[in-house]
Amino acid sequence: MSKNLPTTTPSPVPLELVERRIYPIRGQKVMLDADLAELYQVLTKNLNLAVRRNIDRFPPDFMFQLTQEETEALRLQFATSNAGRGGRRYLPYAFTEHGVAMLSSVLSSKRAVQMNIVIIRAFIKLREVVTSSKELAHRFEQVETKLQRHGAAIGVLVDEIKKLKQPIASPKRRIGFMAED
């Protein structure tokens, strides 16, 4: 008797759309509460309310609130709305990969589960890209080291060739009669 395995449903949003919403903040890859709320199709205030009601599930390595400086830097970088013109009144929350995974248990809708799968895949893909770029950087560093060693050896060879091209300066014999004193 064979069990019917669940078929994979098509992704609600393209993976690339999620990848563009992962930002490096404080040395971590995070997603902002407003972006997550949009992806989960809930209001940001409702997402944050659900998080506050389950705050014990979100330790500091899962979620943190941005500082005013970080918020301003993001506003300048991504041209988000101004607080003075109907924008946010509170500083946004940033969720790490583990925090996003925990969100699916707090937001128990079908959409939250589907989006969570897409978001976790985006984090995994990003980690793979970072790993491969670190490997490439290491290989580039090795090639650079070899080139520096070869460059030094070539410099020594060029100097030696230049010395060979120069005529040997032998003491000149004086021509003529030498008188003794």
- The arithmetic mean of pLDDT across residues 97-108, rounded, is 82
What mean pLDDT is predicted for residues 108-118? 77
Lowest mean pLDDT among 16-30, 77-91, 154-168: 77-91
pLDDT interval class at 78 (50, 70, 90): low
Q: With contact defined as beta carbons under 8 Å apart, do 93 and 32 qualify?
A: yes
Residue 126 has pLDDT above 50, yes or no: yes
Mean pLDDT value of segment 80-105: 75
Q: What is the fold, at CATH topology level, of the domain defined by 15-131?
A: Mlu1-box Binding Protein; DNA-binding Domain (3.10.260)
Summarised one tens digit per residue, pLDDT across range 142-158 is 777 877 887 788 888 88
**Stretch 125-137: mean pLDDT:** 76
Answer for the pair 116, 101: CB distance below 8 angstroms, yes or no.
yes
Strand arrangement of the beta sheet that strand 63-65 belongs to: 23-25, 28-32, 93-95, 63-65
- Taking CA 77 as the corner, what is the angle to CA 71 and CA 82, rounded to the nearest 5 degrees? 55
Percent of the chain with pLDDT over 70: 86
Q: pLDDT tens across 21-46, in order?
A: 888 888 888 989 998 888 888 889 98
Q: What is the DSSP letter of 26?
A: T
| Residue boundaries of the structural domains of the chain | 15-131
